[in-house]
Amino acid sequence: MIESRQQRSDVGIKGPSIADGGVVSAFFRALPERNRMSETLQPSRPETDQEWEAKLERYVAKARPPEALEQGEILQLPLWPEPQRAAPSALLRSALFGVVRSGRRRFINGETLLEAWKGSSIRFKGEQLDQYDLDVWLQALHMARQQDLSGANGTRFTARSFLRAMGRRYSGKAARMLFKSLERMVACAVTIKVGDVRYVGSLVESFVQHEPSERYVLRLNPHLSALFGTGNTRMDWTTRLALSMDLARWMHGYVLSHQATAKAPHRIAVATLRDLSGSGTAALRNFRLKLRQAMNALAQMQVVAVWRLTDGDALEFVRFGTLTKGQNGRR
């Protein structure tokens, strides 16, 4: 059986801290019904920055505030420092952002539950999401963490600045990948249940792109804050970006979502881990080989202190920093 303790970061940090920028969130509610998923504004001639800003503000002026939220209510993500990124722990322990082989992305019809951690369930409809999508989502959450998600702010960025923050070079192909990832997360429908909390919606509520300048205004569902309240995990962003193997990146979030101390190492069956990661590797022996490579990479990056595969075909590990000097390494 799987034995672990769920790591819970401090949550409930509330306050009216609002990121600088114009008021745009209600902009999305002014769009026609058929354009709410995502919108690309294509002017007949190139627009200046001033014209683009004025267009946004005109939409804002016509829009109404969200009726589902009480006036004055603030819904905000926990605050974390710049070198880190954060996500609800239950999602990092699931196949929602899976290990998907290149070119093998499939459409999930929502009828089957994704593999998820005990005490949680995830139903998903849409194009399968992978570790690149998780990078994009983590960065979007990071940029929105200081905003009142229920208020009238959207997150503004350019494709170039967003890719730079993800450690990626700008190119036409990279910009198109970013657009497609955001589009997938708008179009998907998820039902996530963690304990007594059930979230139903998409992972990105909506976005607008000004195509010539590749400038975006993005809005997250304010009720995502409730998922953070079920327990969230913080990750070192530099470490994650340095991991080139998708399974290593998935394991990075999984490892950090558990305490895994020297007194209470975390143990999980290799077969269960394959299912949770959403790996498309059918043969368990092949997955086991990839798992060894991933754990070696995490040990090199000082994410895990010691790890081993047991005779019962389970992975056991202890997080870095919980052992005394000289004990770190594979055992």
User: What pLDDT, in 10s, does the model give residues 40-80?
Assistant: 444 445 566 676 666 555 544 443 344 444 455 668 899 99
Residue 5 falls inside a structural domain: no
Neighbours of 97 (CB within 10 A): 27
Question: 201 and 251 share a domain?
Answer: no
Question: 178 and 64 share a domain?
Answer: yes
- Tokens describing residue 26: 């209600």
Question: 177 and 306 share a domain?
Answer: no
Is the pTM here over 0.95, yes or no? Answer: no
C-alpha–C-alpha distance, residues 99 and 296, integer Å: 18
Q: Is the pLDDT of residue 30 over 50?
A: no
Q: In terms of Cα–Cα distance, which of 58, 81, 75 is closest to 236? A: 81
What value does the mean pLDDT take over residues 265-272?
Answer: 97
Residue 24, judged by CB atoms within 10 A of its CB (0-12, 13-18, 19+), counts as: buried
The DSSP call for residue 179 is: H
Residue 10 falls inside a structural domain: no
Residue 57 falls inside a structural domain: yes
pLDDT of residue 4: 42
The DSSP call for residue 103 is: T
What value does the mean pLDDT take over residues 123-146?
Answer: 96
- Please indicate whether residue 281 or residue 45 has the higher confidence score (pLDDT): 281
Which range has the top average pLDDT, 101-115, 147-161, 207-221?
A: 207-221
Question: 165 and 285 share a domain?
Answer: no
Name the domain boundary from 228, 256, 290.
Answer: 228
Average per-residue pLDDT in the chain?
A: 82
- Indicate the range of 39-43, 49-53, 109-113, 327-331 predicted with least confidence: 39-43
Q: Is the pLDDT of residue 136 over 60?
A: yes
Please give the residue range of the domain that contains residue 304: 243-319
Question: 161 and 309 share a domain?
Answer: no
